[in-house]
Amino acid sequence: MSTLKGMGLKALRLRNWAAPPFDPHRIDAVVLSHGHLDHSGYLPLLVKRGFRGPIHCTSGTADLIGVVLRDSAHLHEEDARRANRYAYSKHHPALPLFTREDADAALRRVQAHAYGEWFAATSATRALFRRAGHILGSATVEL
């Protein structure tokens, strides 16, 4: 069983376009500690590239990534449109890193959990979220 703890976008933009160093089909679940893009922003690409498992997080994080991932997708789509309109991309056509449809596909995999309650992250792994106080919905994760 393979479990990822978060899957965020990298500050080095070009690295986000590279395939991950593992096969997304082989990951059984993602356990997300909070909704910042550097922890959740790669989830649409992970699903687009074959991940089919659940994305576990707190209900606060589920609410937050619903906004964050869709907004990020919108910005990627707008950047691609602008690059195509003004022909400043090296790629023809310029494409968004991920789309709103990709974000929605990832969000459909989200399973929200309460703090302090054990849940089955995979068939072989149990997890527990504890309040972290970092941002809305953030948690430390006990596996």
pTM: 0.89
The Cα 38–Cα 53 span in angstroms is: 20
Residue-level pLDDT at 43: 96
pLDDT (tens digit per residue) in 58-116: 999 999 999 999 999 999 999 999 999 999 888 889 999 999 999 999 999 999 999 99
> What residues are paired with 29 via a beta bridge?
3
Residue 43 tokens, joined: 């989830």
Please classify residue 119 by burial: count the beta carbons closer than 10 Å to its beta carbon, then call 0-12 exposed, 13-18 middle and 19+ buried: middle
Q: How confident is the model at residue 28 (pLDDT cuts 50, 70, 90)?
A: very high
Residue 115: Cβ within 10 Å count = 15
Q: How confident is the model at residue 10 (pLDDT cuts 50, 70, 90)?
A: low
Range 3-142 classified under CATH 3.90.1150.10: no
Handedness of CA 89, 70, 140, 137 (dihedral sign): positive
Residue-level pLDDT at 94: 93
User: Cβ contacts of residue 15 below 8 Å, gap of 6+?
Assistant: none
Whether the per-residue pLDDT at 8 is higher than 80: the answer is: no
Residue-level pLDDT at 41: 93
Residue-level pLDDT at 19: 80
The Cα 110–Cα 59 span in angstroms is: 10
At residue 61, what are phi and psi to the nearest 5 degrees? -65, -40
- Please give the average per-residue pLDDT across 121-130, as a whole number: 97
Q: What percent of the chain has pLDDT over 90?
A: 76
User: Which of 113, 104, 103 lies closest to 31 in space, CA to CA?
Assistant: 113
> What residues are paired with 128 via a beta bridge?
142
Residue-level pLDDT at 97: 93
Residue-level pLDDT at 89: 84
* Contact of 73 with 96, CB cutoff 8 Å: yes
Residue-level pLDDT at 116: 98
For the chain, the average pLDDT equals: 91
